[in-house]
Structure 1
Amino acid sequence: MTKISDFTEGKILSPLLKFAMPVLLAMFLQVMYGAVDLLIVGQFGSAIDVSAVATGSQVMMTITSIINGFAMGVTILMGQKLGQGKYKEAGNVVGSGICIFTVLAVIITAAMLIFAVPISRLMHAPVEAFDDTVLYVRICSAGTIFIVAYNVICGIFRGLGDSKTPLITVSIACVANILGDILLVVGFHMNVAGVAIATVFAQAISVLLSIIIINKRGLPFEFSKSCVRFHKGLTSQILKYGAPIALQDGLVNLSFLAITTIVNSLGVIASAGVGVAEKLAGFIMLVPSAFAQSVAAFVAQNYGAKKYTRAKKTLAYGIGASICFGVVMAYLTFFHGNLLSGMFSKDVAVINASWDYMKAYAIDCLLTSFLFSMIGFFNGCGKTTFVMFQGIFGAFCIRIPLSYMISKVAPTSLFYIGLATPSSTFVQVVFCLVYFIIVSKNYKKRMDIENENHF
Structure 2
Amino acid sequence: MFTRKQLVNLILPLAGEQLLAVTIGLSDTMMVANVGEAAVSGTSIIDAINVLLIQIFSALATGGAVVAAQYIGRGDKESGCTAAKQLLYAITFLAAMVMALCLAFRTQIIYLVYGDLDAEVMKNAQIYFFFTSLSYPFLAIYNAGAALFRAMGNSKISMMVSLIDNVVHIGTNAVLIFVCGFGAMGAGIGTLFARILAAIAMLILICRPVNTIYVDHPFRFCFLPDMVFRILHIGVPNGLENGMFQIGKLIVQRVVTTFGTSAIAANAVAGSISSVANIPGNACSLALITIVGQCLGAGDYDQAQYYTKRLMRTAYISMGTMNIMLLIASKAVVGVYSLDPVASATAIQILQLFAFCSATIWIPSFFLPNALRAAGDVRFTMLTSTISMWVFRIGFCFILTQVFHLGVQGVWGAMYIDWSVRMIVFTIRYRSGKWKTKKVI
Give the alignment's TM-score, normalised by structure 1: 0.90
Aligned to 1:30: 21
Distance of 2:94 and 2:62 partners within structure 1: 14
Counterpart check, 1:367 vs 2:361: yes
Q: Of the candidates 191, 194, 197, which is equivalent to residue 199 of structure 1?
A: 191
Q: Number of aligned residue pairs: give it.
A: 435
The residue type paired with residue 392 of structure 1 is: T
Aligned to 1:21: 12
Runs of at least 5 residues in structure 2 that lack an aligned partner in the other structure: none
Aligned to 1:157: 149
Distance of 2:403 and 2:325 partners within structure 1: 28
Q: Of the candidates 280, 296, 299, which is equivalent to residue 303 of structure 1?
A: 296
The percent of aligned pairs where both chains have the same amino acid is 18
Flag the 1:304–1:344 CA change in 2: closer, same or farther, 3 A.
Answer: same
Q: CA deviation at 1:219?
A: 3.1
Aligned to 1:449: none
Q: Of the candidates 319, 328, 335, which is equivalent to residue 321 of structure 2?
A: 328
Q: CA deviation at 1:67?
A: 0.3
8 Å CA contact 1:98–1:152 kept in 2: the answer is yes
Flag the 1:191–1:386 CA change in 2: closer, same or farther, 3 A.
Answer: same
Q: CA deviation at 1:15?
A: 2.7
Deviation string for 1:374-393 (max 9, x for gaps)?
Answer: 11211111111111112112
Q: Of the candidates 252, 276, 299, which is equivalent to residue 245 of structure 2?
A: 252
Distance of 1:442 and 1:303 partners within structure 2: 9
Runs of at least 5 residues in structure 1 that lack an aligned partner in the other structure: 1-8, 447-455
| Mean Cα deviation higher: 122-131 or 82-91 | 122-131
Aligned to 2:399: 405
Counterpart check, 1:168 vs 2:155: no
8 Å CA contact 1:52–1:125 kept in 2: the answer is no
Q: Of the candidates 147, 151, 172, which is equivalent to residue 139 of structure 2?
A: 147
Counterpart check, 1:293 vs 2:283: no
8 Å CA contact 1:125–1:264 kept in 2: the answer is no
Q: CA deviation at 1:54?
A: 1.0
Q: Of the candidates 66, 78, 82, which is equivalent to residue 68 of structure 2?
A: 78
Distance of 1:198 and 1:164 partners within structure 2: 24
Counterpart check, 1:112 vs 2:98: no
Deviation string for 1:168-189 (max 9, x for gaps)?
Answer: 1110110111111110000011
| Mean Cα deviation higher: 89-98 or 364-373 | 364-373
Flag the 1:272–1:123 CA change in 2: closer, same or farther, 3 A.
Answer: same
| Mean Cα deviation higher: 64-73 or 203-212 | 203-212
Distance of 1:379 and 1:276 partners within structure 2: 31
8 Å CA contact 2:400–2:406 kept in 1: the answer is yes
Counterpart check, 1:58 vs 2:52: no
The residue type paired with residue 312 of structure 1 is: Q
8 Å CA contact 2:91–2:141 kept in 1: the answer is yes
Q: Of the candidates 315, 330, 352, which is equivalent to residue 337 of structure 1?
A: 330
* Matches for 1:213-252 after TM superposition, within 5 Å: 213-215=205-207, 218-221=210-213, 224-225=216-217, 228-252=221-245
CA RMSD of the aligned region, Å? 2.1
Distance of 1:204 and 1:96 partners within structure 2: 21
Aligned to 1:102: 92
* Matches for 1:412-427 after TM superposition, within 5 Å: 412-427=406-421
The residue type paired with residue 272 of structure 1 is: A
Distance of 1:106 and 1:217 partners within structure 2: 27
Counterpart secondary structure, 1:41: helix
Counterpart secondary structure, 1:235: helix
Deviation string for 1:138-171 (max 9, x for gaps)?
Answer: 1100111111110011111111111000111110
The residue type paired with residue 403 of structure 1 is: C
8 Å CA contact 2:43–2:184 kept in 1: the answer is yes
Distance of 1:95 and 1:195 partners within structure 2: 32
Counterpart secondary structure, 1:260: helix
Counterpart check, 1:386 vs 2:380: yes
Deviation string for 1:411-443 (max 9, x for gaps)?
Answer: 434333311112111111111111112225965
Aligned to 2:130: 138
Q: CA deviation at 1:370?
A: 2.1
Give the alignment's TM-score, normalised by structure 2: 0.93
Counterpart secondary structure, 2:129: helix
The residue type paired with residue 385 of structure 2 is: G
Counterpart check, 1:208 vs 2:197: no
